[in-house]
Amino acid sequence: MKTILFAAAMMAPATALAADDPQPAIEAAMTASAAGWTSGDLAKFLNIYAPDAVFVTKDGLVRGKAAIAARYDKGYGTDATKRGALSFQMLGHRQISNVHQMLWARWTLRYPGGRTDTGVTSLLFERRPDGWKIISDHSS
């Protein structure tokens, strides 16, 4: 009986740790974001970003979700058929702290007519009351 109780006690922290694994929630948010992009729903695409997120571009920093939205809208427009279908391939992740998680992924945009663009993104997520949100995005 002591062996069973000891084994159960040893397994409890591992079970709690597995339940706290942020990757399933982050990957689900990434999938929902890509679906939003593909359907032309910019708000759904941007739901993954924190209000105070920073987007790193070749021209400098874009600060805030509203400015990031304006940048995407200007660059890609609102016509979902011209935006292409977005997908992500998760490349790796690293826990920074209990509230910060780094994610690296390959993004791919498949446009009508056969053109495809692809690149890599580095995303810093922060656990917020409303879930895991991107606070820093560097995509190339």
Report yes or no on 8 lying in a domain.
no
pLDDT reported for residue 134: 98
Q: Is residue 6 part of a domain?
A: no
Residue numbers of the domain that contains 69: 23-139
Domain membership of residue 36 (yes or no) is yes
Enter the tokens of residue 9.
Answer: 């006690």
Q: Which of 127, 118, 124, 106 is nearest to 56 (CA)?
A: 124
Is the residue at 5 inside a domain? no
Residue 13 inside a domain? The answer is: no
- Total count of domains within the chain: 1
Residue 130 lies inside a defined structural domain of this protein: yes
Contact by Cβ (8 Å): 105, 118: no
What does the pLDDT look like over 69-79, one tens digit per residue?
999 888 887 77
What residues of the chain score a pLDDT lower than 70? 1-19
94: CATH? 3.10.450.50
**Residue 12 belongs to some domain of the structure:** no
pTM above 0.85, yes or no: no
Span between the terminal Cα atoms of the chain, in Å? 57
Please indicate, yes or no, if residue 46 is contained in any of the structural domains: yes
